[in-house]
Amino acid sequence: MKTDNISIVLLHEYPDYVEACATLLNSQWKRSSSARIHTLNKSCKDLPDSLVLLEEANGEKEVIGHCRLTRIMEDENGCFIESVIIYAEKRNKGYGKYLMFKAEEYAKQLNFSTVYLSTHDQQGFYEHLGYVYSEPVSSVKFSRGNHLVMNSLFSFMTNERSESKSKTDMRDREIEMQENYPIPKVPLPPPPLLQNKITCMAICDNTGKYWMKKPL
């Protein structure tokens, strides 16, 4: 792969590439063009935003790759990389690796410390890039500027964490009681193998997805 004729741009800064991105995405994941364009037009510097991979030939720049960064509900220091695609004729030539490197670089610039993603069948590729299996996360499809919705979501997440903490406190009290008044314990079964855990996670997701993450 040559890099002297390729470049990365942010879609919110170059909206002229929206239609080309929509066409590329629809070549892999079918959706109405109007709906796809509507989603891409929401790109902004506060996220979600798309990174567009361009190749220049004969003075013309062509869209050959795309990925999208969004925020997630569960980790304010993490972001989600989705809709990763390389033009079919350019695959297996290093463009995907280059695009992911630039996406991670951009995430660092935005002060994120972890990137998350999901995949149905490319886990080997992402493992090679340093990703490990993780818990599922929920990507946020709107900009940070939508304060009302953002506040509602994070309030919900905070309440969930508070409820979880209450349950943890209750378990701690139960443990304390058991320590003071010990009862016979049944041996715990051995922990499942990692592969079993991963397979179970994909099945429980009901979509066959593998969830992965990488610290930056």
Q: Dump pLDDT digits (tens) for 35-76.
A: 999 999 999 999 999 999 999 999 999 999 999 999 999 999
pLDDT at 148: 46
99-124: b or e for each residue (b if 16 or more CB lie within 10 Å)? bbebbbebbeeeebebbbbbbeeebe
Query: Mean pLDDT across the chain, nearest whole number?
Result: 84
- Measure the CA–CA gap between 206 and 136, rounded to whole angstroms: 12
pLDDT at 150: 54
Q: Residue 174: what are its φ and ψ, rounded to 5°?
A: -65, -40
Q: Residue 145: what are its φ and ψ, rounded to 5°?
A: -65, -15
What band does 196 get if pLDDT is binned at 50, 70 and 90?
Answer: very low
Contact of 68 with 49, CB cutoff 8 Å? yes
